Amino acid sequence: MTAALCFDGLEDERLVEAAKPFLAAYPKIESWCAYGDIAERTLAIAVGRHHGSHPEPPDHESLDAEQATAIADRGVELLARAGFTAIARTLAGRDPGHALAHATRPDVVLLIAAGHREESGPRSVGHIARFVIDHAKGPVFVLRLALLERMR
């Protein structure tokens, strides 16, 4: 089994700290960063329009390949400081949620930071995390950083 820790560049140190108890159980660790591929997103919107649906453009700026590579590499560095050996992996898709969900497999446990809001339930996570939770092909652990901070 592999543990994949998903970095987005915002909560790196807290994410590694929160993931430590989970990561110790896995022989292989990967640092993932997903980004939206403009060509794939453009194709998805064109196909959607052809079939009568109109996918909405993302409501945030997506990372590009260079930024995603730098973030995944930084994740490897942070994991090394915490005592783990990891490899970096960048994932491209029409948006980060699709890229992450597509990359998951039954033998990969994906750890994502989500739920910056303190309430619980389906709306307590953002739309990317929600998509990954609903469409991943393997297990997904959601590290609720807001709740972890409150517990300290």
Q: In sequence order, what DSSP letters do the residues of the chain get, joined into one string? A: -EEEEEP-SSSHHHHHHHHHHHHTT-SEEEEEEEEE-HHHHHHHHHHHHHTT--PPPPSSPPP-HHHHHHHHHHHHHHHHHTT--EEEEEEEESSHHHHHHHH--TTEEEEEEE--SS--SGGGS-HHHHHHHHH-SS-EEEEEHHHHHHH-
Q: In the CATH hierarchy, which fold is given to the domain comprising 2-151?
A: Rossmann fold (3.40.50)
C-alpha to C-alpha distance for 14 and 18, rounded to whole angstroms: 6
Q: Over its length of 152 residues, how does the chain's per-residue pLDDT go in tens digits?
A: 999 999 987 767 888 988 999 999 999 999 999 998 766 555 555 555 545 544 444 444 567 899 999 999 999 999 999 999 999 999 998 889 999 999 999 999 999 987 556 666 666 778 888 899 999 999 999 888 766 666 55
- Whether the model clears a pTM of 0.75, i.e. scores above it, the answer is yes
